[in-house]
Amino acid sequence: MTSTEPRPDLASGESRADRFVRELAELKIPDPAAARAALWLRLGATLMVLGLVLAVSAYFVSHNTQNPLDQRDGLALGLGGIAGSVVGAALFLRYSLTGFLRFWMARQSYDLAVLADRLSERDLARDLTSTDPAPR
């Protein structure tokens, strides 16, 4: 059976539990944050596809009519579709790249830490007070 009296952090006098409560209180938690990024990602993908569909449809609308007013409508719709598609693609890239870059950064940081350790281990193995046998 365990004691339920937590040990305080010797340095600050604050227990881990107290720090946890304080940090959670300071944590900037957006209200319904659960799926905000996923929502933007989905919205981006939807907009990208819809924009393209709209642009293609608008082409056929303007192509299959002799009426200049309808053709202009088609033109406006097509441009709107392309604009929507570009905005959607930007949103999609922004939120999908975030996830990818987060992983990539973690990997980079790990590789750099390994490299730093290797270099420091090599330096520790060498006698830094001796003359360098192969001056660079």
Residues within the interface to another protein (CB under 8 A): 1-8, 15-17, 19-21, 23-25, 27, 29, 32-35, 106, 109-110, 113-114, 117
Q: How far is the CB of 129 from another protein (least distance, A)?
A: 24
Q: How far is the CB of 39 from another protein (least distance, A)?
A: 12
Q: How far is the CB of 14 from another protein (least distance, A)?
A: 10
- Tell me the residue type at 122: R
Q: How far apart are CA 51 and CA 83, in angstroms?
A: 7
Q: How far is the CB of 67 from another protein (least distance, A)?
A: 49
| 24/125 with CB nearer another protein | 24
| 25/69 with CB nearer another protein | 25
| 11/134 with CB nearer another protein | 11
| 72/118 with CB nearer another protein | 118
Cα–chain center distance at 5: 40
Q: How far is the CB of 126 from another protein (least distance, A)?
A: 20
Q: Is 132 buried (19+), middle (13-18) or exposed (0-12) by CB count in 10 A?
A: exposed
**3-class DSSP assignment, residue 8:** strand
| 23/127 with CB nearer another protein | 23
CB 38 within 8 A of CB 46: no
Q: How far apart are CA 82 and CA 102, in angstroms?
A: 30
Handedness of CA 52, 54, 59, 60 (dihedral sign): positive
